[in-house]
């Protein structure tokens, strides 16, 4: 198994060489090639081929960028806290990256091949501008791969003292390389959406400044949005892996371990999801400021119904994440005192989803429009505007944070003398934040649109300030707290694990959907208002065909992820069998020597 995985380094070398060759060939060509290459495979046109390759590359890249972030954090908790179970969990997270890295490289090479052969002139245009950054990208990708293998295979060799800290620093460097790689690639795609001002189709690509092309209007918002999304996605996939292993576990010890792993993945995913909408607001605002036409196409054109689908999917994420936490309280002594509040929290979440999913204009026939007195429903139009939706989502975020707070407090009794006052202060902070959010939501109906957009900033700041304030009080209040009992890990019904699987599938589908929204607003432009797409696919597809392609990508991705889970299970099984053989050999040796000391168990073998 290990030799098979190590062989991936050579595979990456070949793939990176192919990437470098694909970058260099268009620059070295003596004469321009055709605008578009011919392609038709099982009814799939060139745009569909590039779309699927790009989407799968992005999904695997998000996974291999998100998982190392919290693997390093968990390793640090184990290293500085002296708890070895965190170190083992971080290693298990990292094991999932080995095959996923190969998949990322393979789909990246396929994407470059498709772009250079199916869109040769456009690819030559991009390489003329970004060639230096592409060479840096390829070099960093190789460095990142080498660091990953050194990080994983050096885990057991460097596990004590200064060597362990050096190993942890390797994990930090792995995240640094991965983040830089993501930032470079984001520069290429955001240039296509928001190129620097003053560019035209007649502008020679060699005259475009590299830094101005990378540091465009939407580059930094995309960086922050994708950074958070990668953490959410990585946590969701790790949670799905833990759910798979939980459902297939044979012993209580295994179920306990993967229950804890699933909780950790869900905590990371939902925690980052709470902050993710704020980055989305920033990105949307920058798109509007760069081009009102793109903003109107995204929010007010035919894509406006895409956001209704998005609202339902994000509603599923919030409901499934909270549902998992509420079920998890059943294994925590003392959590029963919070059970009466769950129904009210569920009511807030359901009402929030309903408001968020309410369209501003309804699909109606002539008679229905006449009965309504126009295309807008007399009541539902009040819920279809952003004032209502921003209010709903911020209240949903507050409710989800409250679920985490209740889970955290479930089996703890504060011993500080100001515990009652601290709890009341936390409640007052929640109430004040809710009042601020609702006030600006209602006030938004009485001001102009440009002022109303600014109110969302105040709502976001109120929620973030409340989260930080409440967490600060909670950390101080629970210092030295008494325990009501140990968490009974592994005592979770199977339906709780299905919630983790739903989170992973829903977020994957949501990533594909939002990627379509971001790319689709360019319509018939390769580079918005600079390089026009003149192929027969030069149009934004309707939501039905787009959803079909996205669903195909999700199915392919999870088929490959299932293979990764299976391979991870094989590696785990081989380690277990080796430990079992050592224990058996020790037992036989002791029996042969007549040693009365008890033989070691599997739990004693690392």
pLDDT at position 38 is 67
Task: Name every residue whose Cβ is closer than 8 Å to that of residue 291 and which is 6 or more positions away in sequence.
Answer: 194, 528
> What's the confidence (pLDDT) of residue 139?
92
Residue 63 backbone dihedrals phi, psi, to 5 degrees: -65, -50
Residue 168: the pLDDT is 93
Q: In which residue are the tokens 């994983």 written?
A: 152
Mean pLDDT per block of 10 residues along the chain (606 residues) reads: 40 44 39 58 81 94 89 89 85 85 90 91 93 93 91 88 90 94 94 91 89 94 93 90 90 90 88 84 86 82 80 89 91 89 94 86 75 75 81 92 90 89 93 95 82 80 92 90 87 92 93 90 90 85 89 94 78 55 55 51 41
Measured over the CA atoms of residue 584, residue 577, residue 89 and residue 13, the dihedral's sign is positive
Q: How far apart are CA 316 and CA 70, in angstroms?
A: 24
Q: 412-413 and 482-483 as β-strands: parallel, antiparallel, unpaired?
A: antiparallel
Return the pLDDT at 281: 79
What is the rounded CA–CA span in Å between residue 565 and residue 358? 38
Six token digits for residue 203:
């502008």
Specify the pLDDT at position 70.
83
Q: Cα-flanking dihedrals φ and ψ of residue 429, to 5°?
A: -65, -45
Burial of 170 (0-12, 13-18, 19+ CB in 10 A): middle
CA pair distance 513, 212, nearest whole angstrom: 29
Do 107 and 57 touch, CB atoms closer than 8 A? yes
| SS3 assignment, position 444 | helix
Closest Cα partner for 115 from 102, 130, 101?
130
Report pLDDT digits (tens) over 259-306: 999 998 888 888 888 888 888 878 888 898 898 888 888 877 777 778
How far CA 212 is from CA of 138, 197, 371, 458, in Å, comes to 21, 10, 53, 31
Tokens, residue 135: 């060479």
């Amino acid at each position: 198994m290990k030799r098979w995985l190590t062989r991936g380094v050579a595979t990456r070398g070949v793939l990176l060489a192919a990437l470098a060759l694909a970058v260099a060939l268009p620059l070295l060509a003596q004469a321009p090639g055709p605008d578009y290459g011919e392609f038709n495979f099982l009814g799939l046109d060139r745009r569909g081929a590039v779309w699927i390759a790009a989407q799968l590359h992005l999904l695997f890249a998000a996974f291999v960028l998100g998982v190392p972030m919290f693997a390093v954090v968990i390793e640090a908790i184990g290293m500085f806290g002296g708890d070895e179970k965190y170190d083992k969990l971080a290693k298990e997270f990292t094991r999932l990256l080995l095959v996923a890295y190969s998949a990322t490289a393979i789909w990246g090479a396929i994407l470059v091949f498709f772009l250079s052969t199916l869109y040769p002139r456009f690819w030559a245009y991009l390489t003329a501008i970004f060639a230096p950054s592409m060479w840096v990208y390829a070099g960093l990708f190789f460095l990142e791969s080498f660091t990953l293998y050194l990080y994983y295979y050096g885990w057991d060799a460097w596990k004590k003292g200064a060597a362990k800290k050096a190993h942890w620093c390797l994990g930090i460097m792995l995240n640094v390389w991965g983040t830089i790689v993501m930032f470079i690639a984001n520069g290429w795609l955001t240039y296509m959406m928001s190129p620097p001002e003053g560019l035209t189709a007649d502008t020679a690509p060699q005259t475009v400044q590299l830094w101005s092309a990378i540091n465009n209007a939407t580059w930094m918002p995309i960086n922050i949005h994708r950074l958070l999304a990668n953490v959410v996605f990585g946590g969701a996939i790790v949670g799905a892996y833990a759910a798979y292993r939980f459902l297939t576990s044979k012993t209580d010890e295994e179920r306990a371990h993967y229950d804890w792993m699933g909780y950790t993945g869900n905590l990371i995913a939902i925690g980052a999801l709470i902050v993710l909408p704020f980055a989305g607001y920033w990105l949307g605002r920058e798109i509007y400021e760069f081009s009102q036409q793109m903003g109107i196409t995204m929010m007010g054109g035919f894509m406006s119904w895409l956001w209704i689908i998005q609202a339902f999917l994000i509603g599923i994420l919030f409901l499934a994440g909270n549902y998992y936490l509420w079920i998890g309280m059943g294994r925590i002594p003392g959590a029963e005192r919070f059970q009466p509040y769950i129904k009210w929290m569920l009511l807030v979440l359901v009402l929030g989803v309903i408001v968020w999913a309410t369209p501003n204009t309804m699909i109606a026939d002539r008679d229905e429009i006449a009965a309504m007195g126009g295309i807008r429903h007399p009541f539902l139009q009040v819920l279809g505007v952003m004032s209502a939706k921003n209010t709903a989502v911020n209240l949903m975020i507050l409710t989800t944070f409250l679920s985490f707070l209740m889970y955290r407090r479930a089996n703890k009794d504060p011993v500080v003398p100001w515990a009652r006052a601290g709890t009341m202060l936390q409640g007052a902070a929640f109430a004040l934040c809710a009042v601020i959010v609702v006030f600006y939501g209602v006030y938004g109906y009485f001001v102009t649109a440009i002022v109303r957009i600014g109110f969302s900033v105040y709502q976001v700041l109120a929620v973030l300030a409340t989260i930080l304030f409440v967490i600060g009080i909670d950390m101080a209040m629970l210092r030295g707290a008494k325990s009501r009992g140990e968490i009974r890990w592994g005592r979770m019904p199977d339906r709780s694990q299905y919630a983790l699987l739903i989170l992973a599938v829903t977020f994957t589908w949501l990533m594909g959907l939002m990627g379509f929204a971001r790319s689709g607003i360019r319509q018939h432009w390769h580079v918005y208002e600079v390089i026009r797409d003149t192929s027969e696919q030069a149009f934004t597809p309707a939501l039905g065909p787009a959803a079909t392609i996205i669903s195909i990508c999700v199915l392919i991705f999870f088929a490959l992820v299932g293979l990764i889970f299976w391979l991870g299970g094989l590696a785990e099984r081989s380690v277990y069998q080796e430990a079992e053989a050592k224990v058996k050999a020790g037992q036989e040796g002791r029996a042969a020597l007549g040693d009365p000391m008890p033989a070691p168990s599997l739990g004693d073998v690392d």
